Amino acid sequence: MDTTQHLVHGAGLGLRRPFLSQLVETPPKNIDFYEVAPENWITIGGKFGKQFRAMTERFDFVCHGLSLSIGSTDPLDEKFVRDVKQFMAEHQMKFYSEHLSYCSKGGHMYDLMPIPFTSEAVSHVAARIKRVQDILEQKIAIENVSYYAAPGQEMREIDFFNAVIEEADCDVLIDINNIYVNSVNHHYDAEAFLKAMPAHRIAYAHIAGHYVEAEDFLVDTHGADIIDPVWKLLGKAYELYGIFPTLLERDFNIPAMPELLTEVDTIRTMQNAWRVQHEKQSA
């Protein structure tokens, strides 16, 4: 994969308020870009607002939405999309991504719900993604999500995902942990799913930890260290498609910064290993 197509590069970290002050005072050299949920930062002011501005003026940032509810049958919240557009312009955000899910039905549900894997849903969701892209005047990236039930399923998850992405003509945020979690919970081959992804559309990737509820039931929490099989799946993705920007998500049980940076360093080490291997093969 030609990495020049990406708007950010290297290894990233999801920015969280508990460690904002620390990052402003001593920004780590091994973080190439940051990600924020616009809902959590659009209205921020005061000390946090100044610190946030100090970060966005110095580093590359991307937006990852939580509440657009792209799969809902409720009217699309176009005011929110315009607010995001203004926020992105104000802070020079590189691009915007969202989950292939919904979180509203006559009101906000504060959880990411699975969209039925049907051809009707493909058309519905793709049209809404196109509208968001029209308002933002740029492509957005859509993330493959973890899910725990598949109501009304008429097609496989990967076929549904690819159909939406193709019809919407949008980019992809590939979540490595979600592929692994779903492969365990829904009994499919994670590498086969990975190989079927539209690689030329990958804007960047997420990697995170999860909670083991049972041997055959994992919960995507972003609250634990990343386990070896998930790292190996990321390595397989690089092997298949070349390196792409990859961001560490950690939302709960947030450890001290050195521990977070160790996982960011693992991403960088894997990316560097791919470069070395690629250079040897090209020599």
Ordered structural domains, the chain, with CATH:
3-282 (3.20.20.150)
Cβ atoms of 132 and 78 closer than 8 Å: no
Residues 101 and 71 sit within 8 Å (Cβ to Cβ): yes
Verdict on whether the full-model pTM lies above 0.75: yes
User: How many Cα atoms occupy the beta-carbon half-sphere of 265 within 13 Å?
Assistant: 8
Instruction: Locate all alpha helices (DSSP H) within 36-143, ordered by sequence.
Output: 46-56, 78-91, 119-136
Statement: residue 109 has pLDDT above 70 = no
Digit-coded pLDDT (tens) for 72-103: 999 999 999 999 999 999 999 999 999 999 87
C-alpha radius of gyration, the chain, whole number: 18
Residue of 10, 11, 140, 124 whose CA lies nearest to 65: 140
pLDDT digits (tens, 9 = 90+) for 37-53: 999 999 989 999 999 99
pLDDT tens-place string over residues 243-279: 999 999 999 899 999 999 999 999 999 999 999 988 8
